[in-house]
Structure 1
């Protein structure tokens, strides 16, 4: 039985209070993420600005899906999807919504990693894993999070199913993850495992990035 009845929706713009709530939920939900630790240079105070920049960019160029608890209106889950033709932080309009400010707050070492290593190291792996599709012609999941107190209620599954229905016969769903726990989750959701690759970090301790794809409902 679902202990926390919730509803799913697509939002064009979160209110400021919803944005704050979503950022705090992501901080709680990604507490064990190696990637977030690397992307912030281990600076916990920068996790909020990072998630805020990601959400705001998705509001501009992607689609924000949320799950809200019916009884309270609290946000229980969030998914940031970019449809075909859109990519996170691909232009100044997106980057000016918080990413540039976030980068300026990083240590020089971490900022250099963002600028010179992160994208160039990850792109070849993602390109190979998604072939014959590309990140530009798939539905790409940049972030999905369920508040820890509302997990195991099917929220993440349903946030993904909404996009499976939208993808239909024209595209695939794709994502990358960085923990063994999430690998098991996406396999259970019948995503196809496309392999893994080490992502270099500023501290020379690579983290493993795993790629998954799944056809739209009629592909």
Structure 2
């Protein structure tokens, strides 16, 4: 069955255009014109990816994104008229996997949807990786420590998994950017933001200084124990 895309957009014309382009490429779609409906559809239908407008009635996109992230790892592409770097970084900090600035070409949205699904899909392999006290269940898309399960965003999970495949190796920011994050308009400091959030979550689960920053180079994942 083809992937299901939830289009959360209160502008019906924009939503219809995006839907038409996605369906032409073989995707299934469902639309929501306010934030509350988007969350209801996300819970009921469990879409493969969400295309989420930030400025929506009833509940704005920031609140929707936060709740979707609390629920799990469904990829989210944010669409926004805010084109400042700080707004883009905010979207990524909250847990977006990519963003598109309005006005946009619907062809670009389709390309982003395909790219994010490709990064989050079957090419990632199966099995369990373990580095020190951190266990990464790739098939189950879960991370555990001795204190229990750790809830990560999709991007945080990808970063952790990518580094865990070669423990001790130092990855440059550009390498991590290329392998784990959307390429268009992404900045090296975007990696820093995601790694910082990942580190805080692992610290909360009792794992200190993972991933480790290597000054002037990048990050590595290893266990001192």
**Fold shared per TM-score above 0.5:** no
Considering only CA atoms, is the larger Rg found in Structure 1 or Structure 2?
A: 2
Tell me the TM-score normalised to structure 2 length.
0.29
**TM-score computed with the length of structure 1 as normaliser:** 0.30
| Structure showing greater relative contact order (alpha-carbon pairs closer than 8 Å, 6 or more residues apart) | 1
